[in-house]
Amino acid sequence: MTERLALFGARPAFDPPLRFVRPPVPPLDEVVARLRPGYETGALTNGPLVRELEEGVAHRLGVRHVIATASCTTGLMLVFRALGELAPAGEIPGEVLMPSFTFSASAHAVAWCGRRPRFAECDERTFQLDLRDARRRAAGGGVGAVLATHVFGAPCDPPGVESLAADLAVPVVFDAAHGLGATHRARPLGGFGTAEVFSLTPTKPLVAGEGGLVTTGDDELATLVRIGRDYANPGDYDTQFVGLNGRMSEFHAAVALASFATLDAHLEERRAIAGEYERAMCTIPGVALQHVDSSDRSTYKDLTIAVDPDEYGLTRDQLVTVLHAEGVDTRNYFDPPVHRQRAHRIPEPLPVTERVASRVVSLPIYPALPPRTAERIAAIVESARRDAGRIHTFLGGDGQVSTVGPDGEMSPAVANPQV
Ligand SMILES: *Cc1c(COP(=O)(O)O)cnc(C)c1O
């Protein structure tokens, strides 16, 4: 009972094609209404709307300090810079123990602050930092901080990461870019570790256009990050350290505030869609959704599956070609993993991370999806599994479409480059 696949010339399941993301933009009128009063007085950056956003988020997450920044990357850079300032004089800051299975910006921020990442493996089911492997890699000494990412909006066992950092007697920073609104055992992300940093860029659950939020319970760190985003000028132009212009503008805060008002409703919809994917995909051999602990709530910033090629019968790349032909846009988050990227390449392999990276693919998840999208995508994934033999012949081993198929038919993915 296989449906005919678009790869073999059938009409694509999604026509027009399904976009990978649709940012949850708030109504423009609302944004303008929030912006107008300050705008007319010339308050354009780091003003009352930014304060309102910081206070609103601090209240919601139950954290002492929230500092809005121009982006999450900037926020991470400011945190690592501030941690360097807080270290005892003469102390060498040391490497940052962190996963390679994260977005490049986590490592970029570390490197911009003159620190080196020390990459550790991720867990095969959760895709989160593998704490046992991280502990092993820290054993040689020389680690000055730990960074862990809440991958795809699911908490990364924050207490486990905290206890690793405590044993090493170093600060711990969470890259919470995906995580605004997620909880670990009913505790919101934002309150863990030395600091956490959220992103408000359009692909994330709360959007500002661009923006970041640093959360911390540490008064000294908060002061340094706050000064740091303003060139590290404490107010008298006698700059205290090498800062940045890392401020958030009032325009961005207006968008973020309007978006914040609907965050819970938005997250509920994402979780409902994730549930649909789970139900529709759980019976497909060789395909597994990211494992999220039952006591945690993810934001599902991404809905990511891992494809085991032996069990499923096709590689991730072959499945992606099938999906693209059906009009389903996808992303291979995070492939290549950071340690395989030119900016951060290391000679040693990280076999688990590389295996995971070669198997993952993120599927569309946002409230504006057409009805039954998850079910329809799962049906394609299942059809492709049943047709694996034919797809193999058609695509060749590398998952790339050969120009001409076995029966001499032209692949639509080649004939029609936008799919
Ligand atoms: C998006 C992202 C960032 C960067 O956020 P910006 O706001 O774009 O700087 C950092 N880390 C992770 C894990 C991300 O996904």
Could you tell me if the CB of 103 is within 6 A of ligand 1? yes
Of 327-331, 353-357, 366-370, 403-407, the range with the lowest mean pLDDT is 403-407
Of 61-70, 363-372, 409-418, the range with the lowest mean pLDDT is 409-418
Of 396 and 193, the one with more pLDDT: 193
Q: How far is the CA of 62 from the centre of ligand 1 (A)?
A: 23
Q: Return the structure tokens found at 145.
A: 């901080």
Q: Which residues pair with 184 in a beta bridge?
A: 187, 296
88 pLDDT above the threshold of 90:
no
Atom of ligand 1 at shortest range from CA of 201 = 7
Could you tell me if the CB of 72 is within 6 A of ligand 1? yes
d(CA 308, CA 52): 46
Integer CA distances (angstroms), 25 to 71, 263, 274, 390, in order: 17, 11, 20, 42
- Candidate from 21, 67, 71, 72 with most ligand 1 atoms within 8 A of CB, to mutate: 72
Q: How far is the CA of 395 from the centre of ligand 1 (A)?
A: 34
pLDDT at residue 140, as a whole number: 87
Residue linked to tokens 């486990």: 160
The answer to whether the beta carbons of residues 178 and 151 sit under 8 Å apart is yes
Could you tell me if the CB of 302 is within 6 A of ligand 1? no
Q: How far is the CA of 396 from the centre of ligand 1 (A)?
A: 35
Contacts 24+ apart (CB under 8 A), 87-90: 87/144
DSSP 5-50: PGGGTSPPSSSSPBPS----PPPHHHHHHHHHHHHHHT--BSSHHH
Q: Return the structure tokens found at 162.
A: 């905290």
d(CA 340, CA 334): 11
Atom of ligand 1 at shortest range from CA of 75 = 9
Could you tell me if the CB of 201 is within 6 A of ligand 1? yes
d(CA 196, CA 213): 8
Q: Return the structure tokens found at 57.
A: 């988020």
Atom of ligand 1 at shortest range from CA of 178 = 15
Q: Which residues pair with 288 in a beta bridge?
A: 306
Could you tell me if the CB of 362 is within 6 A of ligand 1? no
Q: Return the structure tokens found at 122.
A: 């991720």
The answer to whether the beta carbons of residues 120 and 169 sit under 8 Å apart is no
In the DSSP assignment, the letter for residue 3 is P
The answer to whether the beta carbons of residues 113 and 77 sit under 8 Å apart is yes
Atom of ligand 1 at shortest range from CA of 71 = 7
Residue identifier of the C-alpha nearest atom 10 of ligand 1: 105
User: Buried b vs exposed e over 59-80: b needs ≥16 C-beta within 10 Å?
Assistant: ebbebebbbbbbbbbbbbbbbb
d(CA 346, CA 168): 24
Atom of ligand 1 at shortest range from CA of 200 = 7
Could you tell me if the CB of 102 is within 6 A of ligand 1? yes
Could you tell me if the CB of 199 is within 6 A of ligand 1? yes
The answer to whether the beta carbons of residues 366 and 24 sit under 8 Å apart is yes
Residue identifier of the C-alpha nearest atom 6 of ligand 1: 72
**DSSP H helical segments within 296-372, as ranges?**
309-312, 316-325, 351-359
Q: How far is the CA of 310 from the centre of ligand 1 (A)?
A: 33
Could you tell me if the CB of 105 is within 6 A of ligand 1? yes
Q: How far is the CA of 72 from the centre of ligand 1 (A)?
A: 6
190 pLDDT above the threshold of 60:
yes
Q: pLDDT digits over 256-299, tens only?
A: 999 999 999 999 999 999 999 999 999 999 999 999 999 999 99
Q: How confident is the model at residue 1 (pLDDT cuts 50, 70, 90)?
A: very low
pLDDT at residue 397, as a whole number: 59
240 CB neighbour count, 10 Å cutoff: 15
**DSSP H helical segments within 93-146, as ranges?**
104-112, 131-138
3-state DSSP helix/strand/coil % of the chain, to nearest 5: 40, 15, 45
Q: pLDDT digits over 131-151, tens only?
A: 999 999 999 899 999 999 999
Integer CA distances (angstroms), 147 to 63, 174, 197, 366, in order: 19, 6, 11, 28
The answer to whether the beta carbons of residues 383 and 3 sit under 8 Å apart is yes
Q: How confident is the model at residue 90 (pLDDT cuts 50, 70, 90)?
A: confident
d(CA 392, CA 315): 10
For residues 299-312, average pLDDT: 98
Q: pLDDT digits over 352-384, tens only?
A: 999 999 999 999 999 999 999 999 999 999 999
Q: How confident is the model at residue 93 (pLDDT cuts 50, 70, 90)?
A: confident
- For a pLDDT cut of 70, what percent of the chain falls above it? 94
401 pLDDT above the threshold of 90:
no
Q: How confident is the model at residue 404 (pLDDT cuts 50, 70, 90)?
A: very low
Contacts 24+ apart (CB under 8 A), 228-234: 228/78, 228/81, 228/82, 229/46, 229/67, 229/69, 229/70, 229/74, 229/78, 230/46
